[in-house]
Amino acid sequence: MLSKNTVKFIKSLHQKKYRIEFGQFFVEGEKSVLEVLQSDFLVDLVLVTEAFENKNFGVLKSFKGELIRVTQNQLEQLGQFQSNDSALAVVRMKPNTPFLPENDELIIALDDVRDPGNLGTIIRVADWYGIQKLVFSPQTAEFYNPKVIQSTMGSFTRVKFFYEELESVLGRWKRPVYGAFLDGTIIHKLQNPAPGILLMGNESKGISPEMEKFVSKKVTIPGFGKAESLNVAIATAILCDNFKRLMGS
């Protein structure tokens, strides 16, 4: 049975300060909940409708946390989906642990990307192209924001990430850094790029002057119409596609 305290707790996780305080966040919808249950995230609580429980008994039988059956109306009142007839999970955040780059991989670094929808889409793009590591400046949107989690469509379970001042990260990694600039080399003309870091900047200001000094090669996407710029998530997807092609992946 769903208690008032549980309702209050889950609703508190809509706010960043409480997510940080409790070290937990929530995931909703059938696809994302199933993905997180089968990932290396620790799940403490799952709320399920009867239909979801019956359909996914095989996955749920191995779940060791608390399982509560609820109605669709209860799910919709707790989460952010206008319609949710399946499930909602309360999940533990992972520690903010830096990783090391491998010699043959492309890593995405985000310099002050503020919009949660953009961050979520970039995570999904990274997953699509097999890019498993991302590093974010402290000013970048919060990974565990519900809008970010929704936008990833489950891809958040398959990437590694951490937050740190990018000056420190790029300074110690000593890897080639490709920065997205309007005046860079056209990405189609880039020849034999070495694996490194793809740096993407703020939605309106682009890559900051402080980070520009770390850029080994400026790249750009050629435009053929009259738009002034591309959305950062779309630009990331186009650049990832080209880098994967150019690197032979």
Please give the angle made by the CA atoms of 137, 141 and 144, to the nearest 5 degrees.
Answer: 115
pLDDT in tens, 31-74: 999 999 999 999 999 999 999 999 999 999 999 999 999 999 99
Token pair, residue 130, equals 């097999």
Token pair, residue 153, equals 């469509």
Residue 242: name the closest of 204, 203, 191, 188 by CA.
188
> Is the Cβ–Cβ distance between 146 and 89 less than 8 Å?
no
The Cα–Cα gap between 88 and 48 comes to 7
pLDDT in tens, 190-243: 998 999 999 999 999 999 999 999 999 999 999 999 988 899 999 999 999 999
The Cα–Cα gap between 98 and 160 comes to 9
Q: What is the 3-state secondary structure (H, E, C) of 143-200?
A: CCCHHHHHHHCCHHHHCEEEECCHHHHHHHHCCCEEEEEEEEEEHHHCCCCCCCEEEE
Q: Which domains does the chain have, with CATH numbers?
A: 4-92 (3.30.1330.30), 107-246 (3.40.1280.10)
The Cα–Cα gap between 212 and 177 comes to 10
Residue 232: name the closest of 125, 147, 137, 127 by CA.
125
pLDDT in tens, 118-130: 999 999 999 999 9
> Is the Cβ–Cβ distance between 120 and 149 less than 8 Å?
yes
pLDDT in tens, 129-182: 999 999 999 999 999 999 999 999 999 999 999 999 999 999 999 999 999 998
Element (H, E) at 10: helix 4-12
In one-letter notation, the amino acid at residue 81 is F
Largest Cα–Cα distance of the chain, in whole Å?
Answer: 61
